[in-house]
Every structure is written in structure tokens, then in C-alpha cells.
């Protein structure tokens, strides 16, 4: 068991590939991502690189207004103003396409990912859950949390990362084109603009992760209380539950105060831009005096260097989201690609033309995968003739439920054979084998849908007449008919009470 746990933790720690984030993209998603990518690049290049180029020309025109006629000056200002208007319209279109395309494709891909992941989880054998899943919350977390991480990265972080990258590259290219002397001097200051953002970004990420873990502890307390609310009420444990929940939230308060301090320092660290501006203004003034530079050009290059550095710092903070998204995609992909040992989707195997129902266990040896050292059966033998009713009697843990689990091939024995009508069950088609059996467990469960839909789980293509007949056969038709909406009544736990006979209805549909 420890070996499996180590393997699971090793897999969980490693990251997947960037390509795996888009493993559920189809041709339509490829088109949306291509349009969104181009739009994000245009968004990043539009502001500030291209805008500051037009601003540079406008400011130089204003600065040189005394040396040209009024008509020429007005014409230059109008042309630059029109260009800025065109830029504004182009920027609006690019931002709209960027937001729409990435949001749309992320929803499409995440929807398919959740469906595929759920199908893959339901396909796994029971032993997989014994070894790799500690609670149902782990499965829900895989479906919701991991998919949300990927969806958020695709919809928000990818376009933001591309936009910031385009802004950084475009800003520094434009700064070198406009005034390379000032650009060379200002380029090293990118370190002052990037490092504070990276440092505080990592701190905030760590604090966010710790806060999320603390909230998970509080969520666990709430989930346990709500799932066993009758037990809580019966033992008058309301105050204790509230106290436990309050104590679980104490850690989030302390971490929240640290997060607030870190956010304040991160925002305050942006004040270093004023120091960078001061130096660029001083050096730019010397370029104006001794090298014939224009004032508008100096201002534009200074703004390009500053905004480009800030964009680079903002983009680097999204690298952490990339790492989280790739790790989430790897966890999901491992489950999706895993072929279970007992595969319910495998259509190979024999199908008996006629089933008599003779069951035989021959020298069966078995131990649960989670407890391999504790043998449940050692040379277990049992023969149930066809048409006979047999009761297995024994103390708790004697193996009564294990017999049924082995017969339904939830697990495979370590040794020996289990036969139905003389044929080993591992040679039979698994779907067909399970379709020949009906099981009423000790704790019947219903899905959050109508009574009719719950009954149809026994036979999805059954008619309403068959549903009614099955309900009558299980002696449940009368009380179902007395409900406000009869078979269309919504099943809502824990307010809806049900007995074992109702669960038998769906089993009768299989016959």
C-alpha cells in the first residue's frame, strides 16, 4: 500500500506538458484559440507600444508648433487624433475577440474534460478507489477544482500572458526604434520593475495556497456536519460543530492578515517606477540638450520602458498558474488514460445464451488491495445450485459482503475460481455479467432526480408501463401515486424517506 501511495504522490508532484492543457480542443476550439491569440497580441501591442508612437508624434507636433504655420500644425494634430481614434476602435475589437474567444473555448474544453474525466473515474475498478481515493471529496475535487484550474488558465491567464508578453516585446522594440540611446540606458531598470512583482507574487501564491488548505479543513467540518445532520441533532452537537468550524477558520484569519500586508507591500513596491521615471527624465533631458532628441520622443520611450517592465513582471506572475494548470492536467490525464484491470467498458468475453444461475467458488483466496496482509478468504469453497435461496450468516467482517463483491467482479480473487453455470466469470463479458444480477445494498441510495429517473437506472429504455409494473411488483406503486407529482416527484435527500423495497423497483426492470 505504501508503494502505491508513494507512486501516487510522485505523480501528483510532477507536471504535465503545456500541450496537455488543450487535449480536449477540437477544430472549432483551434479556430477560437487562433483568433484569441492574434487578438491578445494586438491588444498587447496596441497599448502602450502603438499608442505611444502616435502620442510621440502628437507631442512632438505640439512642441514644434512655433516653427510651422497654423494650418500645418492643425493638420498634423488632426491626423494623429484620427489615428488614435482608429487605434481605439481596433483596440476595442481586439479586446472583445480576445475575451470572447478564450472564454468560449475554455467553457467548451472544460465541459468535455469534466465529462471525459467523470466517465474515466466511473470506469475504474473498485480497487483503484481503495488505493488512490481517500474520500468522495477527492473525486469531486478532481472534477471541479482541477478542471476549474485549467479552465481559468485557458480563459484568463493565457490571454493575459500573451498580452503582457506582446506589450513587453513591443514596448522595448519601439523604444529602441524611437531613441536607442535612452532605451539602452533604461533597459537594465527592468530588474527593479520585475523583481518586486515576482517576489511578492510568490509570497501571495504561497499564502493563497495555505488559505485554500485552511478553508478545505473548514469545508470538511461543514460537509461532515451536513451529511450527518440527523446524528448531529440527535446528540445535540450543534454548538460543538459551530465551535469546530469557527476554530478551523482561525487559521484563515491569520493568513488573511499576512496576505493583506503582502498585497500592500506589492502595490507599494510599484512606487519604484517613479524613481525610474526620474532617472529617465534626467538622462532624457541631456539627450535633448546635447544629442538633438525631441521631448515627446523622450517621454514616449520612458513610458515604453516603464510599462514594458511592468508588463513583463505581471506576465511572470502567471507562470505559477501555468505550473498549477499543467500539474492539474497531468492528474486528470493519468485517470483518463488509465485502463482498469477490471474494465467495465471491455466488450470482449463470453455471453451465455441461457442462464440457470448456478454459482460456485472453488478454493478462492482473497485479500483487499488496501489490506493485502489480512486474508479474508483462504481456500474458500461454496456452491449454490440454480434456483435455490441461500443465506450467508456470520459475524461482522466474516466475508459475507466480500462474496457478493467477488461475484460481481468488483474485485478479482488472488487464487481459485468463481464460476457461473460452470464458466469462470473472468471469461464472461463484464457488462453482461453484471446485467444478470440485482443487488439491494444495506444502505440504498437515490440520485437527485425524479423517482421515474431513479427507477430507469435499472433499464434506461423502459417504457412508463414497465416502470409502473415494476413499482407494483415491489409494492411501491401505491405510496408513489400518493406523492404530489407521483413518478415525477423530485427526490431530495434527506427530506425524502425511502425503504429497500423501492430500490428493488429498478432491479425488477432488469428481469
Distance, CA of 105 to CA of 113 (rounded, Å): 12
Q: Where do we find the cell 506572475?
A: 317
Average pLDDT of 359-384? 85
403 and 503 share a domain?
A: no
Instruction: Specify if 408 maps to a domain.
Output: yes
Q: What is the dihedral of CA 85, 155, 15, 29, to 10 degrees?
A: -100
Average pLDDT of 181-188? 88
Q: How many CB atoms lie within 10 A of CB 374?
A: 9
Cβ atoms of 325 and 185 closer than 8 Å: no
8 and 57 share a domain?
A: yes
CATH of the domain at 32: 1.20.1560.10
431 and 456 share a domain?
A: no
What is the structure's pLDDT at 503?
A: 43
Average pLDDT of 301-316? 83
Q: Determine the structural domain holding residue 474 and report its residue range.
A: 451-509
The model's pLDDT over 469-499, given as tens digits with 9 standing for 90+, comes to 888 887 778 888 888 888 888 876 443 444 4
The model's pLDDT over 131-156, given as tens digits with 9 standing for 90+, comes to 776 555 566 666 777 888 888 889 98
368 and 490 share a domain?
A: no
What is the structure's pLDDT at 93?
A: 92
Instruction: Specify if 35 maps to a domain.
Output: yes
- pLDDT band (50, 70, 90) for residue 314: confident
Instruction: Specify if 445 maps to a domain.
Output: no
Average pLDDT of 404-433? 86
What is the structure's pLDDT at 137?
A: 59
339, 374, 389: which is the final residue of a domain? 339
What is the structure's pLDDT at 64?
A: 63
Pick from 19-23, 139-143, 245-249, 286-290: least confident: 139-143
- pLDDT band (50, 70, 90) for residue 67: low
122 and 38 share a domain?
A: yes
Instruction: Specify if 176 maps to a domain.
Output: no
Instruction: Specify if 186 maps to a domain.
Output: no
Instruction: Specify if 58 maps to a domain.
Output: yes
What is the structure's pLDDT at 122?
A: 81
Whether the ω angle into residue 347 lies within 30 degrees of 0, i.e. cis, is no
476 and 393 share a domain?
A: no
What is the structure's pLDDT at 141?
A: 64
Instruction: Specify if 284 maps to a domain.
Output: no
What is the structure's pLDDT at 492?
A: 60
330 and 371 share a domain?
A: no
139 and 36 share a domain?
A: yes
Instruction: Specify if 373 maps to a domain.
Output: yes
User: Does the pLDDT at position 38 exceed 90?
Assistant: yes
Strands (E), 348-394: 359-366, 377-384
Distance, CA of 376 to CA of 39 (rounded, Å): 63
- pLDDT band (50, 70, 90) for residue 167: very high
At residue 390, the 3 state secondary structure works out as: coil
332 and 428 share a domain?
A: no
What is the structure's pLDDT at 68?
A: 66
What is the structure's pLDDT at 19?
A: 80
Number of domains the chain is built from: 3
Q: Residue 79: phi, psi to the nearest 5?
A: -65, -45
- pLDDT band (50, 70, 90) for residue 40: very high
Would you give the DSSP letter of residue 29?
A: H
Q: What is the mean pLDDT of the chain?
A: 80
Q: At what angle are helices 500-509 and 464-473 packed, to 10 degrees?
A: 130
398 and 476 share a domain?
A: no
What is the structure's pLDDT at 104?
A: 92
429 and 464 share a domain?
A: no
Amino acid at each position: 500500500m505504501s508503494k502505491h501511495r508513494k507512486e501516487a504522490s510522485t505523480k501528483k508532484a510532477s507536471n504535465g506538458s503545456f500541450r496537455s492543457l488543450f487535449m480536449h480542443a477540437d477544430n472549432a476550439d483551434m479556430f477560437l484559440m487562433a483568433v484569441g491569440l492574434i487578438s491578445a497580441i494586438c491588444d498587447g501591442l496596441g497599448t502602450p507600444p502603438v499608442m505611444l508612437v502616435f502620442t510621440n508624434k502628437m507631442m512632438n507636433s505640439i512642441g514644434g508648433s512655433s516653427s510651422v504655420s497654423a494650418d500645418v500644425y492643425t493638420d498634423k494634430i488632426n491626423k494623429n487624433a484620427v489615428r488614435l481614434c482608429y487605434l481605439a476602435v481596433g483596440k476595442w475589437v481586439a479586446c472583445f475577440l480576445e475575451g470572447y474567444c478564450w472564454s468560449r473555448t475554455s467553457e467548451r474544453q472544460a465541459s468535455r474534460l469534466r465529462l471525459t474525466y467523470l466517465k474515466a473515474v466511473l470506469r475504474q475498478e473498485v480497487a483503484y478507489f481503495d488505493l488512490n481515493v481517500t474520500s468522495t471529496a477527492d473525486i469531486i475535487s478532481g472534477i471541479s477544482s482541477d478542471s476549474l484550474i485549467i479552465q481559468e488558465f485557458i480563459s484568463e491567464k493565457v490571454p493575459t500572458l500573451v498580452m503582457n508578453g506582446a506589450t513587453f516585446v513591443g514596448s522595448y522594440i519601439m523604444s529602441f526604434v524611437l531613441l536607442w540611446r535612452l532605451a539602452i540606458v533604461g533597459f537594465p531598470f527592468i530588474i527593479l520593475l520585475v523583481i518586486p512583482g515576482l517576489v511578492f507574487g510568490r509570497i501571495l501564491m504561497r499564502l493563497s495556497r495555505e488559505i485554500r488548505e485552511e478553508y478545505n479543513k473548514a469545508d470538511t467540518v461543514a460537509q461532515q456536519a451536513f451529511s450527518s445532520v440527523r446524528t448531529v441533532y440527535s446528540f445535540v452537537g450543534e454548538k460543538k460543530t459551530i465551535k469546530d468550524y469557527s476554530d478551523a477558520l482561525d487559521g484563515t484569519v491569520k493568513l488573511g492578515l499576512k496576505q493583506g500586508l503582502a498585497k500592500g507591500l506589492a502595490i507599494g513596491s510599484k512606487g519604484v517606477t517613479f524613481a525610474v521615471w526620474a532617472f529617465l527624465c534626467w538622462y532624457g533631458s541631456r539627450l535633448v540638450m546635447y544629442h538633438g532628441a525631441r521631448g515627446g520622443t523622450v517621454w514616449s520611450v520612458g513610458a515604453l520602458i516603464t510599462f514594458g517592465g511592468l508588463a513583463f513582471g505581471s506576465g511572470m506572475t502567471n507562470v505559477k498558474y501555468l505550473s498549477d494548470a499543467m500539474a492539474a492536467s497531468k492528474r486528470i490525464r493519468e485517470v483518463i488514460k488509465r485502463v482498469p484491470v477490471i474494465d467495465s467498458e471491455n466488450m470482449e468475453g463470453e455471453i451465455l445464451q441461457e442462464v440457470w444461475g448456478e454459482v460456485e467458488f472453488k478454493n478462492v483466496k482473497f485479500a483487499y488491495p488496501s489490506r493485502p496482509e489480512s486474508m479474508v478468504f483462504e481456500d474458500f469453497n461454496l456452491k449454490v445450485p440454480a434456483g435455490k435461496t441461500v443465506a450467508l450468516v456470520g459475524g461482522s467482517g466474516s466475508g459475507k459482503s466480500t462474496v457478493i463483491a467477488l461475484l460481481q467482479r468488483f474485485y478479482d480473487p488472488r487464487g481459485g475460481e468463481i464460476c457461473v453455470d460452470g464458466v469462470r466469470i473472468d471469461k464472461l463479458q463484464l457488462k453482461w455479467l453484471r446485467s444478470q444480477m440485482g443487488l439491494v445494498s444495506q444502505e440504498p441510495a437515490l440520485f437527485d432526480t425524479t423517482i421515474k429517473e431513479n427507477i430507469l437506472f435499472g433499464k434506461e429504455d423502459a417504457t412508463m408501463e414497465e416502470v409502473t409494473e415494476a413499482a407494483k411488483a415491489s409494492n411501491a406503486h401505491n405510496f408513489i401515486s400518493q406523492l404530489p407529482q407521483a413518478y415525477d416527484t423530485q427526490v431530495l435527500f434527506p427530506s425524502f424517506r425511502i425503504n429497500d423495497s423501492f430500490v428493488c423497483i429498478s432491479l425488477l426492470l432488469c428481469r
